[in-house]
Amino acid sequence: MDKSMILSQLQTEFGAALRYQASDIEQHVSGGLFSAEQVIQLYRNNFVISCCDALQASFPVTHKLVGEDFFTSVARQWVLSNPPQSGNIIDYGEGFASWLAELPLSASLPYVASIAQLEWVIEQTASAEMVFEPFPFADLSALPATQYSFIRFHLAPQFSLCGASEAIYPLYQMAQQDQFEAINLNMPSYVLLQKQPDFTVSLQPLDEADYQFLLGCTQGLTLANIAEQLGIDPSHYVQTYIAQGVLNRFSCLENEYE
Amino acid sequence: MSLAKLTGGVGIGLRHPHFKSILESKPDLAFLEVHSENYFNPHGQSRYFLDQLMQQYPISCHGIGLSLGSTDPLSASHLAQLKDLVDHCQPVLISEHLSWGSINGQFFNDLLPLPYTQELLNHFSIRVEQVQHVLGRQILIENPSSYLRFNQSVMPEWELLNRLVDQTGCGLLIDLNNIYVSSMNLGFRCSEYLAEINTAAVQEIHLAGFTRKVLSEGEILIDTHGSRVSDPVWGLYQNYLEANPAVATLIEWDTDIPPLSVLLEEQQKALAYG
């Protein structure tokens, strides 16, 4: 056998053992006073616990809502079935929310996955670039009227959106303040997120129409597409969100204006 | 800060809970060491504080995620981000580990052990040379803590590290706590390890704490970096400094992070040995 294959195979076997999969790694290691199984378990614990800790750091409100035991249980399942894909643990957690949504718990606690998704968007927003360049009004004014339908507006990178069919905004606020009261959780909730200069992220509740307009912008829809799909005149929304700095540039056909 | 080579002094690991207190209190530290990956994002809060702290302190970049010993290809993205960080903060030292952490595209967020074979040495040397080529800088390689050894290992860790230095021109970062932990777990003598290691290549010493875990068969030491440096490790440090007095030293504390004052007490204790 090619010797370079040996190292590769050892690592494949080791990795399988860390994930409780079939492996013969124990035949290739010795642990002094301890059995190979015992020392492999130490490495397995380091892997699983450190990744669970990373998830808990990224999803603190989800953790608070479901409790320690439940969170640890689902986090372990997630870690073992979806280990990190990069050597930077800060990147870990993408897809956790949609994975939660597929679990049986979602039938009884559907808001849990939605809150997790909100937390993931919050974390990504906190890491985003902040751009405060003025909107290019002169470029917009210079466009021929025949091209208005082809305009696409873009959100500044420090803004993000999150929407759910459950009341994630009030639930998140209550969890942040540790003050829970009875609310109708089956109310759709839409949120505009904005990174602040102190690296916190502010949440602003949106009406569904505002959310759909901004969502259309993030999806790269033209104004004509948005008007057609939502059945609205988008000009009001354009003015509002340019004024707020949410929309900070536009593109038209092949050209970018910022 | 200037890029003057560190020839001694004691620094501490820079951790999130201490960002503001270090900026405000400006403790007298030889350098700050960062976990490189935590500072990759130029728009993140950690980088914001690093940008201020690097005006006051020399910085050492200590990587934990490059997975140098893996047979997977080196991550071009990870390496590019490391180069961006290195170009940005011009660290006095750059280091990584004699370990692996990924296989078949899956990462385990840990510093996993390697078999000490000629094949591993050749493989690891190529990877170190790749990194040094991309960064345009020498890197240091740190000895890991171990709970097991591979049956097919044919040389002790110190010999592999010495030969790695010869083959790649890399430097060494010797973690005395890791040597102690491994020696207790695997039954070798620290004195032999330290007598044999190429001290001319050692540019940094790490000091940290460990945890004892009791199993039915006996006691195993876990490299938790969550407590004060132990007396036996202080003893190793004292012996090391007697023979090699001018080496940069780091107090490393990664879990159950205490107030900054505790790290500074450990830093002062290390200085007293100098």
Domain map (residue ranges) of chain B: 11-23+31-273
> Dihedral of CA A140/A144/A148/A151: which sign?
negative
Cβ A89–B102 below 8 Å, yes or no? no
Chain A partners within 8 Å of B215 (Cβ): 34, 38
- Cα A243 to Cα A129, A156, A238: the distances in Å are 20, 12, 8
Q: Give B136 to chain A, closest Cα distance, Å.
A: 21
Task: Tell me whether B123 touches chain A (CB under 8 Å).
Answer: yes
Q: Would you call A14 and B112 a contact, using CB atoms and an 8 Å cutoff?
A: yes
Return residues 22-61 of B near A (CB < 8 Å): 37-38, 40-45, 48
The verdict on A32 touching B (C-beta cutoff 8 Å) is: yes
**Whole-number Å distance between alpha carbons of B63 and B88:** 15
Are residues A197 and A93 located together in one domain of the fold?
no
For residue A126, which residues of chain B lie inside 8 Å, CB to CB?
44-45
Chain A environment of B119 (Cβ under 8 Å):
3-4, 6-7
- Compute the nearest-CA separation of B218 from chain A (Å): 7
Host domain of residue A121: 1-127
pLDDT digits (tens, 9 = 90+) for B57-90: 999 999 999 999 999 999 999 999 999 999 999 9
Distance of CA A71 to the CA centre of its chain: 18
Surface of A (70-89) touching B: CB under 8 A: 83-89
- Using DSSP bridges, classify how beta strands B202-207 and B248-251 pair: parallel, antiparallel or unpaired: parallel
| A86 and A201 share one domain | no
Number of structural domains in chain A = 2
Domain-ending residue, one of A127, A151, A167: A127
Q: In whole angstroms, give the CA distance from residue A78 to residue A70.
A: 12
B147 touches chain A (CB under 8 A): yes
- Cα–Cα distances in Å, from B211 out to A53, B91, B183, B226, B229? 18, 31, 14, 8, 11
**A257 and A141 together in one domain:** yes
Specify whether A102 is located in the same domain as A1: yes
At B18, give phi and psi (nearest 5°).
-105, 0
Cα(A223)–Cα(B175) distance, rounded to whole angstroms? 60
Complex ipTM value:
0.95
Fold of domain B11-23+31-273 = TIM Barrel (3.20.20)
- Kind and range of the H or E element at A212? helix A208-218
Contacts of A34 in chain B (CB under 8 A): 147, 215, 217-218, 220
Bridge partners, B94 (sequence order): B61
Check CB contact of B109 with chain A, cutoff 8 Å: yes
Q: Are residues A135 and A253 in the same domain?
A: yes
CB B233 within 8 A of CB B204: no
Do residue A30 and residue B148 have CB atoms under 8 angstroms apart? Answer: yes
Query: pLDDT digit string (tens) for A6-40?
Result: 899 999 999 999 999 999 999 999 998 899 999 99
Instruction: List per-residue pLDDT tens for chain B, 274 residues long.
Output: 434 567 789 999 999 999 999 999 999 999 999 999 999 999 999 999 999 999 999 999 999 999 999 999 999 999 999 999 999 999 999 999 999 999 999 999 999 999 999 999 999 999 999 999 999 999 999 999 999 999 999 999 999 999 999 999 999 999 999 999 999 999 999 999 999 999 999 999 999 999 999 988 999 999 999 999 999 999 999 999 999 998 999 999 999 999 999 999 999 999 999 7
A8 and A106 fall within a common domain: yes
